[in-house]
Structure 1
Amino acid sequence: MSEDKKGSGPGRWLVIGVVVVAGLGLVRGNGHDDAASAGPSPTATAPSGPGSGAAPSAGSSATPPNAPKPSKPSGRYDPADYAAPVRQYAAEAGVSPQLLMVILYNEAYKPHDPELERAWQRGKPDASFGIANMHRAAFEDTRPGRPFASRQWEELPDDRNLAIQAAAWHLHDLAGQLPARPGVPLSRDELVALGYNAGAGNMLAFARGVRIGSQAQSYLDRLRDNWSKSGEAVK
């Protein structure tokens, strides 16, 4: 999501990775390698309310019988490798699998290593977690009544399937807030993606014709660049 993208890029994350790796050694030396701050997320990136679509009952089980096993991060990350859970959770949430996949491509700009994410979050408590870069506030607003209602935001770096499922339902909720016929030359999927990046309030402003800022425009440009390969990945 948006706050981690300011000034982001592969070079920036390479520098951050070097600094954090050094920091991890210091943290481990003090016996706090598993500690993680639990600061709130900025309200600008959290959705303003639940969508209008009906969700299936959550039940008491955190892992439904037909759900994929938790996907443990390892090695190189390629969003296309997660096409199966993308298709499953997009269907569960009633959103386009291509839209869900393109969000993963857009959010793949930074390393998604669990230790690196947690070390970065210790210094920046409002940072996002998981391969879909979800903020705590967005996750907490999305999960009530959903199949992952018993899961925690802190699990996102370690369970990529959970990150995909939560992102799918967040997209569902954002789509439920859009007017039936937005008065702008943008598709509903594009508006929902902008909502994922910039928050529901900005999404609704864009749908009314408010000019898209440079950061949101950059996200939209990347989304359009990634759209075709996202469709190929989920065929």
Structure 2
Amino acid sequence: MSTWKQKRFWEQVTVTESAGRFAVELDGRKVKTPAKAGLILPTRAMAEAIAAEWMAQEDAVNPHTMPFTRSANAALDKVQLQHNEVADMLAEYGDSDLLCYRADSPVELVQRQSDEWDPALDWAASELNARLQTRQGIQHQRQDAEVLKGLQARVRALSAFQLAAFHDLVSMSGSLILGFAAAAGWRGADEIWTLSRLDETWQEEQWGPDDEAQAEAEIKRQAFLHAKKFYDFS
């Protein structure tokens, strides 16, 4: 296994603008993606966040401390090249959305799911023109094809940078509707993350917390919050 790490060679980190797009330069040299594409960014806010990450590097570059850079790289090197495939994969979450599959007991959990998840489905019906139907149990039942088609079109309409962020909002929450809700700012990202964890929280209340599971959930929560910030900067 290689232990080579890129050393910091630059003194100055600057943001440049050309034709309404932005780049980050290290001593006048534009940053490129791992695939050697130009790291051309849609907003100054994103470019400044990435510039701050490069400026914060000390002796050796540590990609794990550069989440905005990594997300932008993914948008350009991966998502941009297979945009519709990624969009369609995410749109499929609508047909088995977390919010639609409800417990049939105990009554307290049934009520909590209704109280906390129904408002998100109501928001989607109003703002996305997409009324998804709830089911009891875990057996898959297809949603209305026209509703799913409309949601798919909305996902496909996202830019590569938005879609890179949206991927994490949806896949980490398990819900296309919560992904849209987070992107739109329906509620705070932390609150939406908590909604996605309703079943896990219920189990913890019944049986007590598991330290390992909680640590893993916190890592995912931080990634979810980052995805929301990256979406907003897109």
| TM-score, normalised relative to structure 2 | 0.30
Looking at secondary structure, tell me which structure has more helix per residue: 2
| TM-score, normalised relative to structure 1 | 0.30
Larger Rg computed on CA atoms: 2
Structure number with the bigger relative contact order (C-alpha 8 A, sep ≥ 6) is: 1
Looking at secondary structure, tell me which structure has more strand per residue: 2
